[in-house]
Amino acid sequence: MTHTAKSRTLAVLVLIPSLLSATPAVAAPAAPAPERPVAAPAPQPETLAPTPPMGFNNWNAFGCDVSETLIKETADVLVSSGLAAAGYEYVNIDDCWSLRERGPDGRLVPDPVKFPSGISGVADYVHGKGLKLGIYGDAGTATCAGYPGSLGHEEIDARTWADWGVDYLKYDNCNNQSDGSQQDFVRRYTAMRDALDATGRPIVYAICEWGQSQPWTWAAEVGDLWRTTGDISDNWSSVRSIIAQNAPLAPYAGPGNWNDPDMLEIGNGGMTGTEYRTHMSMWAMMAAPLLIGTDLRKATPETLAILGNREIIAIDQDRLGVQGAVVSDRDGLMVLDKPLANGDRAIALYNSTDSLATVSVPVRETGLRRAGAYRLQDVWTGRVSQARSTISAGVPAHGTVVYRVRPLADPATVPPQVALGATVDNLLPGALGENLLTSTVTNRGVGAVRDVRVTVSTPEGWRAAEMSDTARRRLGTDASFETTWALQIPEETPAGRYPITVTTTYRWGGRQRPASTTSEIIGVVFTPPGDGRRHLSTIAPLHSSNALGPVEADQSNGGGAGGDGNLITIGGRVYNRGIGTTAPSELFYLVAGCTHLVTDVGIDDEAPATAPVTFTVHTDDRVVASSGPVSPGAAPVTLTADLTGASGLRLVATGDATGQAHADWAAPILTCGSAGPDDPVLPTERTIFSFESGTEDFTVANPGSGGTVAQTRTFRTEGEHGLTVATPKDGNWFGRTFAEPLDLTGAARLRFDVRAGEVGTVGEFAVQVGPDWAWCQGGLWSWTNPFASRTITEEIDDLSCPAGASLDLSQVRAVWIFLNGGGQVHVDNVRAEYPE
């Protein structure tokens, strides 16, 4: 099949109008509905992607470290692990696979070192495994890593990929020469669609323009799937933000036309098992492509179990092809409802908050047809239960419960759904009666449950004392009861996160069969900071409230989403440490044993505020420092607070009732114990390049690629000067070698501050080490939007060296940072950070 506009339009128009309704027509049921109704979906037009594509892509785990060996070994593992049989069929090569220059005939040339058999040889191998091969291209003059792009070369590149046997194209958006209009995006991506069609080879076309031009409004006539967001990262904040952006786009998805919230990070180590199951669950509910992004050769059994769960895959791959619709989205709790081809519904209860929460949805608010009871199968545990009129579960922090639901004729044979929720205060060691845990048990099933009991299991050495009745003889349908417990925590317990298990046991049915429900809640133990001077932004508050979005560490509060701010900027002064809030807001810290807090305060320059904000520092019940009203655009005000003898510290910003004022606590430093004003601030940093004396001999690693540098006062985060870099479109490494090796032994990460110009830029680190000057780099790029600012951070452990070379931090010969985009970029304060 070819990529015709007609077929893509039909795929949307046939499906969407009949499937968007979340609530069926109201009709009084005369009798219980049959247990498994049979649905007959309308015939669908032929498409290259009737269900969301599944497979593997190397970028998230390997970046530019791609090779023929990696792709072949991954294909082997897909087959041997059973993942191929579960539906994962594409093995996709991402950026950095070609040479830096086209061949004499104008064609792209595979890197012969990375791919000695060429892409066609790898395709033959992958096809021989019963799988399909994907490739990467870019709708610009160069790829994001600076390799040849396809802008103006669409026909020859499409023909080349087709000749090699490629089955899937990821088409990126770097160095795009765009005027920013939607018309330009449509033109560039349509040009490649037409070129692919002209080859006659069926190639799935994945549009990767990061959601910049709202592709969900136009790309159904151009590609098979389209990215709706920026790049994913292996952390909870990224996954949560992407779910919030992609979930409302359900009306635009259907067979052959998929919203793509980016590839899977499952197994890469940056999240918990609960978070990875949410990642998989919500991608399946959103009918998203499932492209594995971890090293499958080293995948743990837990990773393989998450990726290979047939029940959740079946929801993603359901032939009806409907993205789950948002039924409710309040206070960080979301419910999705996805119709399935056999008449079942998949219902997801998603908890994005940091605490265990009970998530519920009345059946009448979903697309389930009316019945006397409903059968619920948990797709992760396999447990089956029944509910009368409300679907409910205690969902762990950052967790998701997914049920496959259908009407049930005989609920007496199925255990009732009993939801167990709990809340717990932030915990203080040694305070019996002050650390309270409350649980709530609710029976959602048809028929009463009896002999209901609640127990609490705590970490070793802790004690849970009953503060209320913990048992009930009978609990009817939709009835609840609460228990209260006091937690005693040993004095020596260190700060941290501790699991607490709450269990309810009960009996159900005529034979009084035993059953139980268990929920895990995370108790967070807080202790005062130890001796020393610390950036307050590295210490978690015991409590916080904020007018809009989360409190942000080391950046402003850009808006309602996490991580959407810039480097804190007050009256033109830029800070790389601080706390971003929106007024009104309040933060509370434990500070027993601390003596001083020094901080600058002010309204961030990015804010639209029109009213002044007052910043007040409280210790216990006493005001110890206040800024008075600070106007938008004013210079930062410095506050110094004496904390001697205080146990608690409150930071309060008030004054703008609209919640629009971005109120910053800039460079707050907390002094505790015997530390003095000259002690280093933790975590300690070592400046490598400050640019106070000039450009410090900064140069380019690849002279032929271009780029210049100059000292500037326009952007600086340390001292009075920074560096202005005129970047080439395709990028270059900027830095220098050292006359004598630099010893960075013990460093945990490398960092630099950047503000992009009108184009935006990626940022990355590389170091050269040892007597052979081995080049070690991270391989993944951090994107900074046009006119935005941020700190680029690279974990030392993530730097990758060539085979046979080791990362000897005692022999650092050179430090380089990568920048691109073709615009002007400002940088400052290239540094190494050390753990406490």
What gap in Å lies between CA 815 and CA 809, rounded to an integer?
A: 11
Q: Place 730 in a pLDDT band, splitting at 50, 70 and 90.
A: confident
Helices marked H in 496-633 — which ranges? Answer: none
Collapsing DSSP to helix, strand or coil, 712 comes out as strand
Q: Who contacts 827 (Cβ-Cβ below 8 Å, separation ≥6)?
A: 715, 722, 723, 725, 752, 753, 754, 755, 817, 819
Are the C-beta atoms of residues 789 and 775 closer than 8 Å to each other? no
Q: Who contacts 777 (Cβ-Cβ below 8 Å, separation ≥6)?
A: 764, 765, 766, 767, 799, 800, 816
752: left (phi over 0), alpha (psi -120 to 50) or beta: beta
Residue 701 has pLDDT above 70, yes or no: yes
pLDDT at 144: 84
Report residue 346 as tokens.
Answer: 């998949």
Other Cβ atoms less than 10 A from the Cβ of 377: the count is 16
739 class by beta-carbon count within 10 Å (0-12 exposed, 13-18 middle, 19+ buried): exposed
pLDDT in tens, 121-176: 999 999 999 999 999 999 999 998 889 999 999 999 999 999 999 999 999 998 88
- Beta strand pairing call for 532-535 and 681-682: parallel
Closest by CA position to 534, among listed 648, 402, 417, 673: 673
pLDDT in tens, 732-773: 999 999 999 999 999 999 999 999 999 889 899 999 999 999
pLDDT in tens, 184-197: 999 999 999 999 99
Over range 722-733, report the average pLDDT.
Answer: 92
pLDDT at 126: 98
Report residue 311 as tokens.
Answer: 């029940």
Over range 226-251, report the average pLDDT.
Answer: 92
Amino acid at 602: G
Amino acid at 638: T
pLDDT in tens, 281-293: 999 999 999 999 9
Residue 9 has pLDDT above 80, yes or no: no
Closest by CA position to 684, among listed 529, 531, 534: 534
Over range 675-701, report the average pLDDT.
Answer: 96
What gap in Å lies between CA 785 and CA 790, rounded to an integer?
A: 10
Residue 462 has pLDDT above 60, yes or no: yes
Report residue 128 as tokens.
Answer: 């021989």
Phi, psi of 161 (to 5 degrees): -65, -40
Residue 8 has pLDDT above 50, yes or no: no
pLDDT in tens, 645-661: 999 999 999 986 677 88
In SS3 terms, 644-683 reads as CCCCEEEEEEECCCCCCCEEEEEEEEEEECCCCCCCCEEC
Q: Place 2 in a pLDDT band, splitting at 50, 70 and 90.
A: very low
Report residue 782 as tokens.
Answer: 């951090």
Residue 34 has pLDDT above 70, yes or no: no
Are the C-beta atoms of residues 73 and 42 closer than 8 Å to each other? no
Q: Who contacts 175 (Cβ-Cβ below 8 Å, separation ≥6)?
A: 138, 140, 141, 142, 143, 144, 149, 151, 729, 730, 820, 821, 822
DSSP tag of 398: T
Q: Edge-to-edge strand order for the sheet containing 585-590?
A: 543-546, 585-590, 648-654, 613-619, 622-630
Residue 819 has pLDDT above 60, yes or no: yes
Over range 449-471, report the average pLDDT.
Answer: 97
Closest by CA position to 261, among listed 277, 274, 237, 245: 245
- What totals of helices (H) and strands (E) does the chain contain, helices first? 10, 50
What gap in Å lies between CA 247 and CA 549, rounded to an integer?
A: 18
Closest by CA position to 554, among listed 733, 343, 787, 793: 793
Residue 6 has pLDDT above 50, yes or no: no
Over range 687-691, report the average pLDDT.
Answer: 98
Q: Place 15 in a pLDDT band, splitting at 50, 70 and 90.
A: very low
Interior/surface letters 568-590, b for 16+ CB within 10 angstroms, e for the rest:
bbbbebbbbbbbbbbbbbbbbbb
What gap in Å lies between CA 274 and CA 397, rounded to an integer?
A: 8
Over range 702-711, report the average pLDDT.
Answer: 93
What gap in Å lies between CA 547 and CA 303, rounded to an integer?
A: 38
pLDDT above 90 as % of the chain? 83
Residue 354 has pLDDT above 80, yes or no: yes
pLDDT at 24: 27
Over range 801-816, report the average pLDDT.
Answer: 92
pLDDT in tens, 251-279: 999 999 999 999 999 999 989 999 999 99
Average pLDDT of the chain is: 92
Closest by CA position to 244, among listed 333, 355, 360: 333
pTM of the model: 0.81
Residue 231: active-site member: yes
Interior/surface letters 226-248, b for 16+ CB within 10 angstroms, e for the rest:
bbbbbbbbbbbebbbbbbbbbbe
pLDDT in tens, 424-434: 988 999 876 67
Residue 172: active-site member: yes
DSSP tag of 491: T
DSSP tag of 461: T
Catalytic residue among 157, 197, 231, 295: 231
pLDDT at 549: 84
339-343, 362-366, 789-793, 800-804: least confidently modelled range: 800-804
In terms of residues, how long is the chain? Answer: 836
Residue 511 has pLDDT above 70, yes or no: yes
Phi, psi of 652 (to 5 degrees): -125, 130
What gap in Å lies between CA 385 and CA 378, rounded to an integer?
A: 8
Are the C-beta atoms of residues 229 and 255 closer than 8 Å to each other? no
pLDDT at 608: 74
Higher pLDDT, 801 or 266: 266
Over range 330-336, report the average pLDDT.
Answer: 96
Question: Residue holding tokens 């110094």?
Answer: 640
pLDDT at 818: 94
Phi, psi of 464 (to 5 degrees): -110, 115
pLDDT at 657: 66
Catalytic residue among 95, 172, 318, 730: 172
pLDDT at 464: 96
DSSP tag of 803: T
pLDDT at 402: 98
What gap in Å lies between CA 219 and CA 230, rounded to an integer?
A: 17
Residue 584 has pLDDT above 50, yes or no: yes
6-15, 260-269, 567-576: least confidently modelled range: 6-15
